[in-house]
Amino acid sequence: MPFLKLGNFVIASYVALITMFIIHLLIVAIAGVNPITYIKKSLPVLTFAFTSRTSAGALPLNIETQRKLGVPSGIANFAASFGLSIGQNGCAAIYPAMLAIMIAPTVGIDPTSISFILTVVGIVAISSFGVAGVGGGATFAAIIVLSALNLPVGLAGVLISIEPLIDMGRTALNVSDSMVSGIVTSRATGSLEKEEKTEEVAI
């Protein structure tokens, strides 16, 4: 039974990660980049991030992929580097929030209450600053969030056995969100390059 519950948590985690990736695609589309093009060009770096579990190690590929997507070099470097420690969707947002919601009932807190949800959102947003872009960074982010919410940190240790399985998807999402940030910033500043010029960069 415990293994079944852990399996359910893995499934729930990937449902959340996939949902967030779909949101990334919507943002990319709004920014003027074809989502299919985004997937095709980002697949190598996302695959590397998924298998290596380190967004820091994927930094060179991240920058190269953003250049292929039309992001200027300066913005690509900034977005990729900044994304290593701030605003990681997978490690610093989804995972700690899911743990907080899961653990809250064990101490008599209603995880569906508006006040608790707003508190979680605020603490997760603040704690997302400074999360290391290496394997296991999500565990430290979760400990910070659980401590701030006065929830039992020890219960997070139960998930250590399945941490690598979830961390693969989280890392890929982290890399994706830094690339999306680069695309959105380029669009907002009017510096996103056209497809023709992008192809020249790829060559």
Those residues whose C-beta lies under 8 Å from the C-beta of residue 4, and which sit 6 or more positions away, are none
What pLDDT digit, counting tens, does each position of 37-83 carry?
999 999 999 999 999 888 888 999 999 999 999 999 999 999 998 88
CB 112 within 8 A of CB 158: no
Alpha-carbon torsion, ordered 92, 97, 98, 103, to 10 deg: 120
What pLDDT digit, counting tens, does each position of 164-175 carry?
888 899 889 989
pLDDT for res 134: 59
pTM equals 0.83
CATH number of the domain bearing residue 99: 1.10.3860.10
Amino acid (1-letter code) at residue 142: A
CB 33 within 8 A of CB 184: no
Those residues whose C-beta lies under 8 Å from the C-beta of residue 59, and which sit 6 or more positions away, are 80, 81, 84
pLDDT for res 74: 93
Domain span at residue 168 reads 2-202
pLDDT for res 84: 80
Q: What's the CA gap between 49 and 36, in Å, rounded?
A: 19
CB 24 within 8 A of CB 176: yes
Ranges under pLDDT 70 in the chain: 1-4, 87, 130-137, 195-203
Q: What's the CA gap between 83 and 146, in Å, rounded?
A: 23
Q: What's the CA gap between 193 and 158, in Å, rounded?
A: 47
Does an H or E element contain 95, and which? helix 95-103
Does an H or E element contain 178, and which? helix 163-188
Tell me phi and psi for residue 137, to 5 degrees: -60, -30
pLDDT for res 201: 47
Maximum C-alpha span of the chain: 59
Tell me phi and psi for residue 156, to 5 degrees: -70, -25
Domain count, the chain: 1
pLDDT for res 2: 55
